[in-house]
């Protein structure tokens, strides 16, 4: 499948989405550690994350780590409305939008050079428009592949913009920890660390057959490709409404209230 030789894929990811909506709507929460949720942390502001609070952590543990945190109940309807507004900005930027959750998406801006400028300029305008129209900070990574654009946004957080040019892809990717590779969770990371492999570059130094032997055929091939930034998937249109419906269904299945 064709992959552009230019960095034209944007990964746009709202920062601490639920907590940011709370801080936007309640000015007295700005600059303070905020936890959304009760028994389980649904989101934490960056002020709370600085104390080690993480999403999906138990509420009791979160409060022990950050006793001064302000705990607020979730307002799913507010988050849904904010998501709709952000995706409107995405669609105003390019018709090629692939939503992957209610607070992040891939955007392909490769066909917009003549009418909208370079991808970095488009990404900067998108960030400014989300802040102006929705009042939320958003981080954008720009790269030639979806995988690397997502890695770039993760490195750039919070409230940042990072462009990985094609001639610097592996120099950027290879020093990063193996946990930055899609598909490397705690179990795979532990297995790699036990084998003395801690960076993406060390994964790239291994043959595909060696990785398949260590991790299984599918995982080995997958990680070998990503370590060399081989990711041919285009940004495919996915409806933000579908994503929100799936998100609400997941909450209902988990026994959580719907908006």
Domain count, the chain: 3
What is the pLDDT averaged over residues 17-44? 97
In a domain, residue 241? The reply is no
Residue 150: give its domain's CATH number.
3.30.70.270
Check whether 60 has a pLDDT greater than 50: yes
Question: Is 104 part of the annotated catalytic residue set?
Answer: yes
Check whether 1 has a pLDDT greater than 70: no
In this predicted model, what pLDDT tens digit does every residue of 200-226 receive, in sequence order? Answer: 999 999 999 999 999 999 999 999 999
Same domain, 178 and 111: no
DSSP letters spanning 186-249 = HHHHHHHHHTT--BHHHHHTS-HHHHHHHH-HHHHHHHHHHHTT---PPP--B-HHHHHHHHHH
Q: Give 239's pLDDT tier (boundaries 50, 70, 90).
A: low
pLDDT (0 to 100) of residue 234? 76
Same domain, 37 and 98: no
Higher-confidence residue: 251 or 61? 61
pLDDT (0 to 100) of residue 258? 28
DSSP letters spanning 2-54 = ---SS--EEEEEETTHHHHHHHHH-GGGTTS-EEE-SSB-SEE-HHHHTTT--
Check whether 47 has a pLDDT greater than 60: yes
In this predicted model, what pLDDT tens digit does every residue of 71-110 receive, in sequence order? Answer: 999 999 999 999 999 999 999 999 999 999 999 999 999 9
Catalytic residue chosen out of the listed positions 22, 47, 98, 104:
104
pLDDT (0 to 100) of residue 89? 98
Same domain, 88 and 132: yes
182 three-class SS: coil
Domain boundary among 50, 74, 98: 74
Same domain, 114 and 157: yes
Same domain, 195 and 218: yes
Q: Cα-atom radius of gyration of the chain, to the nearest Å? A: 19
In a domain, residue 235? The reply is no
Residue 190: give its domain's CATH number.
1.10.150.20
In this predicted model, what pLDDT tens digit does every residue of 159-198 receive, in sequence order? Answer: 999 999 999 999 999 999 999 998 899 999 999 999 999 9
Residue 24: give its domain's CATH number.
3.40.1170.60
Domain range for 27 is: 18-74
């Amino acid at each position: 499948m064709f992959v552009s030789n230019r960095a034209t894929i944007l990964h746009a990811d709202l920062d601490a989405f639920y907590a940011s909506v709370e801080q936007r709507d309640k000015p007295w929460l700005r600059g303070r550690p905020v936890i959304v949720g009760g028994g389980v942390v649904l989101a934490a502001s960056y002020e709370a994350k600085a104390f080690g609070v993480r999403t999906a952590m138990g509420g009791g543990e979160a409060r022990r780590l950050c006793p001064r945190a302000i705990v607020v109940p979730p307002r799913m309807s507010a988050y849904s409305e904010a998501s709709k507004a952000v995706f409107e900005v995405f669609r105003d930027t390019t018709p090629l939008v692939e939503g992957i959750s209610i607070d992040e998406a891939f955007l392909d801006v490769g066909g917009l050079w003549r009418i909208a400028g370079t991808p970095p300029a488009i990404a900067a305008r998108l960030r400014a428009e989300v802040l102006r129209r929705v009042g939320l900070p958003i981080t954008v990574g720009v790269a030639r592949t979806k995988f690397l654009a997502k890695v770039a946004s993760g490195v750039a957080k919070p409230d940042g913009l990072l462009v990985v040019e094609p001639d610097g892809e592996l120099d950027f990717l290879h020093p990063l920890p193996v946990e930055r590779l899609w598909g490397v969770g705690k179990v795979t990371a532990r297995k790699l660390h036990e084998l003395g492999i801690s960076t993406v570059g060390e994964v790239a130094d291994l043959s595909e057959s060696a990785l398949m032997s260590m991790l299984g055929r599918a995982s080995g091939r997958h990680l070998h490709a990503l370590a060399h930034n081989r990711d041919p998937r285009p940004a495919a249109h996915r409806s933000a409404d579908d994503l929100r419906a799936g998100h609400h269904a997941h909450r209902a299945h988990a026994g959580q209230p719907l908006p």
